[in-house]
């Protein structure tokens, strides 16, 4: 199996980009983790993410991987037990997946973040400032909608955990549910419907995209001081 660096060079040499690149990188990640059942079961998500017309994320804990900056992703992988080299390789793979955000045929991405995510220190204050700046940058992309759920609103329907939904035309929606021990991927219609309802209720309580940019900017200013 090629290293992630070799894979990137190979894709570049062959002129593979956009959703096709995201799909190939997803397959690479699956192959790399084929002996790890917890990772192998994510196959439907990686296979769908690169082909989706719409991706929806609710995150009450951390910034979703698809919009993490490199240093933030590295710190997250280190926190979950990867050694330095493993964290670097996984981070490079995650950065490769983000090509769909700038692809002409990329998906609409809707992200709802709990405000606490912006104030949870991951790495250093510089990392957090960079991450907030990245969210502000992405929010200027008309295909990326970022909403912040104010902490002052108290309990929300999304406190049960993060939700990720991927939609592909003509196929069932894929649900990725974050859990403490392992993530769960399913296309079960009842679970997808329930998760979609939760996502929409949380989004309905969150700030609009303009106000959310202000909230993100306030968090960035805090980390920049």
Q: CA of 65: how far to CAs of 69, 93, 105, 134, in Å? A: 9, 11, 20, 12
pLDDT at position 34 is: 52
Query: In this predicted model, what pLDDT tens digit does every residue of 2-46 receive, in sequence order?
Result: 776 788 888 889 988 876 777 787 777 666 655 454 455 666 787
Domain that residue 92 falls in: 4-99+108-224
Q: What residues of the chain score a pLDDT lower than 50?
A: 35, 37-38
The answer to whether residues 164 and 129 touch, using CB atoms and an 8 Å cutoff, is no
The answer to whether residues 34 and 40 touch, using CB atoms and an 8 Å cutoff, is yes
Question: What residues contact 13, with CB distance under 8 A and at least 6 apart?
Answer: none
Is the full-model pTM beyond 0.85?
no
Query: In this structure, what CATH number is given to the domain that contains residue 116?
Result: 3.30.870
pLDDT at position 10 is: 85
Where do the H-state alpha helices sit in the chain? Answer: 4-13, 18-32, 37-40, 43-49, 70-79, 84-97, 115-119, 125-138, 189-205, 209-224
Token pair, residue 39, equals 């990772």
pLDDT at position 41 is: 62
Query: In this predicted model, what pLDDT tens digit does every residue of 137-156 receive, in sequence order?
Result: 999 999 999 999 999 999 99
β-strand partners of 165: 56, 175
Token pair, residue 163, equals 């939700």
Please name which of 18, 44, 12, 10 lies closest in space to residue 29, comparing C-alpha atoms. 44
Domain count, the chain: 1
């Amino acid at each position: 199996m090629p290293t992630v660096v070799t894979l990137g060079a190979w894709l570049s040499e062959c002129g593979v980009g956009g959703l096709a690149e995201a799909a190939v990188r997803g397959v690479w990640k699956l192959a790399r983790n084929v002996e790890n059942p917890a990772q192998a079961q994510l196959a439907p998500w990686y296979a769908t993410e690169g082909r989706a017309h719409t991706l929806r994320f609710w995150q009450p804990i951390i910034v979703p991987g698809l919009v993490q900056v490199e240093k933030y992703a590295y710190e997250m992988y280190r926190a979950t037990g990867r050694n330095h080299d493993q964290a670097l390789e996984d981070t490079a793979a995650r950065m490769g997946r983000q090509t769909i955000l700038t692809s002409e045929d990329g998906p609409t991405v809707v992200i709802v973040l709990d405000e606490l995510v912006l104030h949870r220190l991951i790495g250093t204050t510089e990392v957090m400032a960079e991450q907030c700046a990245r969210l502000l940058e992405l929010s200027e992309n008309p295909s990326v909608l970022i909403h912040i759920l104010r902490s002052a609103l108290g309990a929300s329907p999304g406190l049960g955990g993060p939700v990720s939904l991927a939609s592909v035309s003509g196929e069932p929606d894929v649900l990725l549910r974050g859990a403490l021990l392992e993530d769960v991927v399913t296309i079960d219609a009842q679970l997808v419907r329930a998760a979609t309802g939760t996502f929409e209720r949380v989004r309905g309580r969150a700030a609009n995209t303009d106000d959310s940019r202000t909230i993100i900017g306030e968090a960035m200013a805090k980390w920049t001081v």
